[in-house]
């Protein structure tokens, strides 16, 4: 696993919970698929830990998305804002 973030400036934001929910996966199912403990998935989702580069790549490959679509240094814009802003 990665390192523990230090304060807000070291925090890595992610969309793991949203991606997992979209695919109707439990933390255990995701963990089994990427080869980690289910608690690791929880730590990552809450931002308690930043993933190692290797784990970030495994998640990217699992979801079929670029790493920057899953993790970011700045908070993500809510999906509803992105979807409805494009419709206008």
CATH of the domain at 78: 1.10.260.40
Instruction: Give the Å distances, CA to CA, from 68 to 26, 38, 50, 60, 87.
Output: 23, 23, 14, 9, 23
The pTM assigned to this predicted structure is: 0.79
Q: What is the C-alpha end-to-end distance of the chain, expressed in Å?
A: 41
Tell me, yes or no, whether 21 lies in a domain: yes
Tell me, yes or no, whether 73 lies in a domain: yes
Tell me, yes or no, whether 3 lies in a domain: no
Q: What is the pLDDT of residues 5-47, one digit of tens each?
A: 555 566 899 999 999 999 999 999 999 999 999 999 999 999 9
Q: What is the pLDDT of residues 43-60, one digit of tens each?
A: 999 999 999 999 999 999
Tell me, yes or no, whether 13 lies in a domain: yes
Tell me, yes or no, whether 41 lies in a domain: yes
Distance CA 9, CA 83 (A): 28
Question: Which DSSP category does 10 fall into?
Answer: G
Distance CA 34, CA 55 (A): 8
Tell me, yes or no, whether 2 lies in a domain: no
**What's the pLDDT score for residue 48?**
93
Q: What total of structural domains would you count in the chain?
A: 1
Distance CA 75, CA 28 (A): 25
In terms of residue numbers, what domain contains 27?
8-87
72, 19 Cβ separation under 8 angstroms: no
């Amino acid at each position: 696993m990665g390192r523990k973030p230090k304060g807000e400036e070291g925090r890595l934001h992610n969309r793991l919970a949203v991606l997992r929910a979209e695919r109707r996966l439990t933390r255990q199912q995701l963990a089994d698929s990427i080869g980690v403990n289910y608690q690791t998935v929880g730590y990552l989702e809450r931002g308690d830990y930043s993933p190692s580069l290797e784990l970030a790549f495994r998640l990217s490959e699992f979801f079929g998305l670029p790493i920057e679509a899953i993790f970011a240094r700045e908070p993500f814009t809510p999906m509803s804002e992105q979807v409805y802003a494009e419709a206008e």
